[in-house]
């Protein structure tokens, strides 16, 4: 009897288009990747439920305040009194006028500090300043 050894079984799924798919994914990531601008400080954000997403990532000034009392803007450590002129500069920038200030303050910071920062922001003047207290989602 003749059994032809059918050892040559072809798998049949055409994989010729795999590099194409990979290139598509790659181009997607290359286009959508935005590199982080600043490191910021080590901060544990407070938790809240009714949090809203910040409208737009650009035109945002970020102020970090950690529990050891450091305040930083754009990765530079600043004193409380420096906040007002810095934010004023950002708001007066003709190319990218800052619209929102994002306050990333550690949850254990004393309110005295927060109030000082807020008073500095109020001194910037002009129209009412939109601020956003950064928070993480609360899991009750």
Partner 1 sequence: MLLENEKRRSSEIPTASLADIAFLLLVFFLVTTTIDTDKGLSLALPPKGETKEVRKKNIANILINAEGQVMLNEEPIEITMIRERARQMLRENPNLIFSVKTDRKTKYQVYIKVLDQLKQANAQRISIAEPES
| Contact call for residue 77 and partner 1 (CB under 8 A) | no
For helices 111-122 and 83-92, give the axis angle rounded to 10 degrees: 40
Closest CA to 65 of 98, 109, 101: 109
Q: Is 127 in the site for partner 1 (CB under 8 A)?
A: yes
Query: Least Å distance between CB 69 and partner 1?
Result: 13
Q: In what order do the strands lie in the sheet with 76-78?
A: 76-78, 71-73, 60-65, 100-105
Q: Is 111 in the site for partner 1 (CB under 8 A)?
A: yes
- Phi/psi for 136 (5° steps) reads -100, 160
Residue 51 or 78: the one with the smaller Cβ distance to partner 1 is 51
**Among residues 6, 8, 36, 58, which is the contact residue for partner 1, using CB under 8 A?**
36
Residue 68's nearest CA partner among 38, 100, 109 is 109
52 binds partner 1 (CB under 8 A): yes
Q: Which stretches of the chain bind partner 1, using CB under 8 A?
A: 18-19, 22-23, 25-26, 29-30, 32-33, 36, 45-54, 57, 60, 62, 100, 102-103, 105-112, 114-115, 118-119, 121-138
């Amino acid at each position: 009897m003749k059994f032809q050894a059918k050892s040559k079984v072809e798998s049949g799924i055409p994989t010729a288009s795999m590099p194409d798919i990979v290139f598509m994914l790659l181009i997607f990531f290359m286009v959508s990747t935005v590199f982080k601008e600043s490191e910021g400080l080590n901060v544990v954000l407070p938790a809240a439920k009714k949090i809203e997403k910040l409208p737009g990532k650009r035109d945002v000034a970020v102020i970090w305040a950690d529990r050891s009392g450091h305040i930083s803007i754009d990765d530079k450590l600043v004193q409380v009194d420096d906040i007002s002129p810095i934010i004023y500069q950002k708001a007066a920038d003709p190319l990218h006028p800052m619209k929102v200030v994002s306050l990333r303050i550690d949850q254990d910071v004393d309110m005295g500090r927060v109030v000082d920062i807020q008073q500095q922001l109020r001194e910037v003047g002009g129209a009412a300043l939109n601020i956003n207290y950064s928070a993480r989602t609360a899991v009750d």
